[in-house]
Amino acid sequence: MIWDRENECRPRADLRRLQNERLRETLARVYETMPFYRERFDAAGLKPRDVCSQAELARLPLLTKNDLRDHFPYGLFAVPLKEVVRVHASSGTTGKPTVVGYTRQDLETWAEVMARLVTAAGVTAEDVAQVSFGYGFFTGAFGLHYALERVGATVLPVSGGNTERQVETMLNFGSTALICTPSYALRIAEVMGEMGIDRSLLRLRWGLFGAEPWSENMRREIEARLGIFATDNYGMSEIIGPGVSGECQERSGLHINEDHFLVEVLDPDTGQPVPEGEPGELVFTSLTKEAFPVVRYRTRDISKVTLEPCPCGRTTARMARVFGRTDDMLIIRGVNVFPSQIEEVLLAVEGAEPHYQIVVERSGALDDIEVQLEVSERTFSDGARKMFTLRELVEHRLEVALGIGVRVKLMEPGAIERSQGKAQRVVDKRKL
């Protein structure tokens, strides 16, 4: 099913024209109303009318999270606060959170773009959708909530946490779609096991997961444990929240809502565009947002984008699942490693559990990592010899996949902390 055929299946030449038109409008508006952007245009010797397409857009500087923090809380709102009907904020593990606002029209846009993705993932008015993201400043729950209502699904606003209650709700209310982070889905499956509830008792069919990086092997694991069809969806508070892109049933990339968000893929070091299909950092410009427009926002997320047509019929560009964030990238003896690459290896190992953490330390001038991986009850009780063989195997596979030797520590079942939202995969002891 396609929610909005006109906008999701538009011929690419028409889409380009629409994007350029909206880009011009956005730039003219930020120039007129926001001193921050006007200064940037002036410094680049540009007027909004000089920017007629993406090529000229590249002459404007990139917008960073620090720029947003410097204007905390409302400094980059483009409309008076009385026109803002909702505020969200991203947690901001370091320093101030970033604050974003929505006009009534922005909320309308958000529900609409997210409704496309919810539909692409398989959810319809027949479904009972359990939203297990935390309701609050985080955009995940509200973003999915209004879109699910819009497609007519029956929404259960359970919010995050209290995992036993999540399982009871699935059981008692007949949830057919689960909405949360992939790591929390796994935790829910685990607690279901502890409660002695078999998945055949559930009506669950769909899993709509996002908000953190995950691997294809993680998808298989969750699908097997919960008996569902799982899709990935992506977004971030600064751009709108969830709703930027999501997978269709083909699951070969996440369709970007390009009529609202213009994407560039840049080399994170040089800021230059990479060729189509090559990995780079995603940079977005909002094309329709009123309260919080962003021009060339650096996401720090690494992915690649293809314009190849998708068999589903949508013509929008597709991005590969996000490999990770540039700030999560580990440089181990000169080799770039993303936690998701490590995850891909760990989750393919028999006898290991899908719970792990990567501890980064500094030994001398070099960074050193230790991968801590939980083993199954069975492996654990099989004794030292079995554990030794398993450790050797995991170390070997990691070396083959990453091209560097990595120390592995096997942990007893339950030793790694579980997440109810975004999992913390990397423990960086260098900063402690």
The stretches of 181-248 forming alpha helices (DSSP H) are 182-194, 216-226
Among residues 237, 220, 187, 213, the alpha carbon closest in space to that of 342 is found at: 213
One character per residue 3-42, x = contact with ligand DLL (rule: CB under 6 A): ----------------------------------------
Mapping DSSP to helix (H, G, I), strand (E, B) and coil, where does residue 336 land? strand
| Cα distances (Å, whole numbers) of residue 323 to 304, 344, 355, 409 | 9, 11, 18, 24
Interface segment toward ligand DLL; rule CB under 6 A; list 135-143, 189-197, 345-353, 383-391: 135-143
Residue 192: CB minimum distance to ligand DLL, A: 22
One character per residue 312-341, x = contact with ligand DLL (rule: CB under 6 A): ----------x--x----------------
Sole residue written with tokens 């520590």: 409
**Phi, psi of 14, rounded to the nearest 5 degrees:** -65, -40
Q: Which positions from 263 through 322 interact with ligand DLL, judged by CB under 6 A?
A: 299, 301, 322
Query: Is the Cβ of residue 18 or residue 310 nearer to ligand DLL in the bound state?
Result: 310
Total residues binding ligand DLL (CB under 6 A): 21
| Cα distances (Å, whole numbers) of residue 152 to 81, 175, 255, 403 | 31, 14, 22, 49
Interface segment toward ligand DLL; rule CB under 6 A; list 62-70, 114-122, 134-142, 146-154: 134-142
Residue 200: CB minimum distance to ligand DLL, A: 28
Q: Is 175 left (phi over 0), alpha (psi -120 to 50) or beta?
A: beta
DSSP annotation of 316 reads S
CA distance 276 to 248: 21
Interface segment toward ligand DLL; rule CB under 6 A; list 7-15, 76-84, 233-241, 286-294: 233-241
- Tokens read off for 362: 């500094």
* Residue closest to ligand DLL when measured from CB atoms: 210
Q: Which positions from 56 through 95 interact with ligand DLL, judged by CB under 6 A?
A: 90
112 binds ligand DLL (CB under 6 A): no
Query: Is the Cβ of residue 48 or residue 324 nearer to ligand DLL in the bound state?
Result: 324
The residues of the shown chain that bind ligand DLL, judged by CB under 6 A, are 90, 138-140, 143, 210-213, 232-237, 241-242, 299, 301, 322, 325
